[in-house]
Chain A
Amino acid sequence: KQEVTQIPAALSVPEGENLVLNCSFTDSAIYNLQWFRQDPGKGLTSLLLIQSSQREQTSGRLNASLDKSSGRSTLYIAASQPGDSATYLCAVMEDNAGNMLTFGGGTRLMVKP
């Protein structure tokens, strides 16, 4: 059974710092990996999708990498801002389970002004 783990569970950094969020998964037979952002009391917003054949994806100050063979992904946030404060979730879509996503527990990020 696929298991997705995110470390750290919580992170607090001063504004302007570059930071890395980690995601690991146990079964490398995946179609893709998605990173989501969730603000308190809100739904999930898709940030980046990395297909299993890709190594990385970039969107603005966000860069996500994927090493499928080792079961790891990272989300790099450059020049963090207080508006980046949220919970970040990674999820994998397995290639033998339809379109179902298995989520990690999330990393709660706080960027202090």
Chain B
Amino acid sequence: DAGVIQSPRHEVTEMGQEVTLRCKPISGHNSLFWYRQTMMRGLELLIYFNNNVPIDDSGMPEDRFSAKMPNASFSTLKIQPSEPRDSAVYFCASSLGTGWFTEAFFGQGTRLTVV
């Protein structure tokens, strides 16, 4: 398996524009996570899906952020409108099952710059 695949790797956009980040989890994994990493706050969980259903979106910073998982092999994170403070690296991760042996695998991330 190619691992968790994210696109684009880099995104530069102007303030106010809509940004869509994409993620393909590892085939067969039933949990998907979106994280954001900044120097100031480290890695923060934004939203978590289990079997394509959003379970916890308490980390989504505000209504400008939305995430969908229309099927088991694809998820999007959308920011509309984008702001400079949204600049960060966004990671997608996936895992299988739940419990002691559950291991999370991360994509390479999307580096977002909002100017």
Q: Does B70 contact A (CB under 8 A)?
A: no
CA distance A45 to B91 in the complex (A): 12
**Number of A-B residue pairs at CB separation under 8 A:** 68
Question: Across the interface, which residues of B come within 8 angstroms of A105, CB to CB?
Answer: 42
Cross-chain contact of B103 among A34, A42, A52, A102 (Cβ < 8 A): A34
Q: B87-115 CB contact bits vs A (8 Å, 1 = yes)?
A: 00001010100111111111111010000
Cross-chain contact of B102 among A36, A42, A93 (Cβ < 8 A): A93
Q: Are A49 and B103 in touch, CB under 8 angstroms? A: yes
- Which secondary structure dominates where chain B touches chain A? strand
Determine how close the nearest CB of chain B comes to the CB of A29; give it in whole angstroms: 12
Chain A, interface residues (CB within 8 Å), range? 20 to 34
Q: Are B42 and A43 in touch, CB under 8 angstroms? A: no
Q: Are B31 and A99 in touch, CB under 8 angstroms? A: yes
Q: Could you list 7 further interchain pairs (A-B, Cβ under 8 angstroms) beyond the known A45-B106, A98-B56, A101-B33?
A: A36-B106, A43-B107, A53-B100, A97-B56, A99-B95, A100-B45, A100-B48
Chain A residue, CB-CB nearest to B91: A43
In the A-B complex, the 5 residue pairs with the smallest Cβ-Cβ separation, listed nearest first, are: A51-B100, A44-B106, A103-B43, A43-B108, A43-B106
Q: A38-66 CB contact bits vs B (8 Å, 1 = yes)?
A: 00011111100101110000000000000
B-side residues, CB < 8 A to A, are 31, 33, 42-43, 45, 48, 50, 55-56, 91, 93, 95, 98-109, 111
Question: Across the interface, which residues of A come within 8 angstroms of B42, CB to CB?
Answer: 103-106
A-side residues, CB < 8 A to B, are 31-32, 34, 36, 41-46, 49, 51-53, 89, 91, 93, 95, 97-106
Cross-chain contact of A31 among B43, B56, B99, B111 (Cβ < 8 A): B99
